[in-house]
Amino acid sequence: MAALLLDVKPGDEVIVPTYTFVSSALAFVRQGATIKFIDSREDHPGLNEEKIEKAITDKTKVIVVVHYGGTACDMDMIMKIASKYKIFVVEDAAQAIDSFYRSKPLGSIAHLGCFSFHETKNIQCGEGGMLVLNDQRFIDRAEIIWEKGTNRSKFFRGEVDKYSWVDTGSSFLPSDMLAAFLLAQLEQLDLIQKKRKQLWEQYYESLKLLEDKRYIKLPFIPYYATNNSHMFYIVCRNITERSNLINHLKSVGILSVFHYVCLHNSTFIKSRAVEQLYLPNAEAYSDTLLRLPMFYELTLENIKTISEEISNYFSFI
C-alpha cells in the first residue's frame, strides 16, 4: 500500500537496507522501481544512516528504513536528508511495535509507517498488518486502495449514494476473525511486552560474561532508541562457530536460527543485477548473527537453561 500511495513507477529508485526481509523491497520492485541496497552499521544490523546520502540520485523517490529488532534508526538524521532532497521515507516498523526514537513511537515519524502482525511479531494475528499515515494527503486515497480500489467506505458513511471502482488497489483488509484475534492481542500489549522485556533482560544478564570474554557480542541499543524485546540475538565470531553452536543447541533440544540472507545476494536480485555489490557489515551479520528463542510462553528458567547451554558450548571449545 505504501508503494501504491507513493505512486512508485518504473524508473524510480528506492533505497533499502540489504539486511532485511524481502517485503521491504518487494513492494517497490512490484511497482517497477530499481532498488539501491545499502549496508548495515558496524555496531548494529540496522541500516547505516551514513550511507544514505551517497546512494541518492535525481531518480530517488523513497528511502525505506527498517527498525531491525525494534531498534530505531537515527530518524532525525534520515528525515533531514529526505527533506533536503524532497524524498519520501517509509518506516518498515514490522518489528517495532511499542518501540521509540527519542520518545516518538516508531512507525509514526516518517511519511508512512508499516507494521506487521505476522505470527513471528510481538503482537500478532497470524497474518496481518497496519499502515500508519503521517500526512493528511494520503488519507482518502489509502482508504480506496485498501478497499479494492473502490470508494465503498465513503458509501458506508453515507458520503456518496453508490460506490464504484475509482482507483487502483487490492484486498488489503483483514477478515473479521483476524481483526478480533488482533484486538485481543492489542488489549494485552502491556502484559505481553512486560513479559518479553523480562525474558530479554534475563538473556542479557545470563550471557554478559560470554561477551566480556569476547566469545560473542550482545545486541547494541543506541542512546536514542528503546528496546521492545522483539528478538534476542547474539553475534558469533565467525560462521563456523555459529554453525557449531546451532548444532550444539539443537542436540539439547533448543532451536536457534540465523536471520537474513542479504537481499543483494538473493537469487532474485542476483539474477537481475548488473553488478555484484559488496556490503561488508550486512554480509558479516548474515554469517554471524544468531537468534535465540523468544516468545511469550518462555519462562525465565528456560532462558537460564538456554544461556547455560551456550556457556557450555564455549567452555568446551
Ligand X SMILES: *Cc1c(COP(=O)(O)O)cnc(C)c1O
Residues that bind ligand X (CB under 6 A): 20-21, 23-24, 66, 92, 94-95, 116, 118, 129
Minimum Å distance from CB 24 to ligand X? 5
| Shortest distance (Å) from residue 208 CB to ligand X | 26
Dihedral of alpha carbons 227, 233, 237, 239, sign: negative
CB of 122 to ligand X, least distance (A): 11
Amino acid at 225: A
Residue 210 vs 225, nearer CB to ligand X: 225
Hunting for cell 552499521 — which residue is that? 41
Instruction: Supply the minimum distance, in Å, between the C-beta of residue 92 and ligand X.
Output: 5
DSSP string, 29-42: HTTTPEEEEEPBPS
Cβ nearer to ligand X, comparing 23 with 244: 23
Residue 2's SS3 state is helix
Query: 118 or 154: whose CB is closer to ligand X?
Result: 118
Strands in 170-236 per DSSP E: 232-235
d(CA 33, CA 14): 7
Task: Specify the amino acid at residue 117.
Answer: F
- Name the residue nearer to ligand X (CB basis): 66 or 306: 66
Distance of alpha carbon 11 from alpha carbon 34, whole angstroms: 7
Find the shortest distance in angstroms from Cβ 84 to ligand X: 26
Q: Taking the complex as a whole, how short is the minimal distance between the CB of residue 156 and ligand X, in angstroms?
A: 26
**What are the two backbone dihedrals, phi and then psi, of residue 241, each rounded to the nearest 5 degrees?**
-65, -40
The answer to whether 58 and 208 have CB atoms below 8 angstroms apart is: no
Three cell numbers written together for 261: 540472507
Q: Which is nearer to ligand X, 20 or 202 (CB)?
A: 20
Q: Which is nearer to ligand X, 119 or 205 (CB)?
A: 119
Closer to ligand X by CB, 21 or 313: give it. Answer: 21
The residues near 302 (Cβ < 8 Å, ≥ 6 apart) are 293
Task: Give the nearest distance from C-beta 21 to ligand X in angstroms.
Answer: 4
CA atoms within 13 A on the CB side of 37: 28
Please report how many Cα atoms fall inside a 13 Å half-sphere around the Cα of residue 268, on the Cβ side: 11
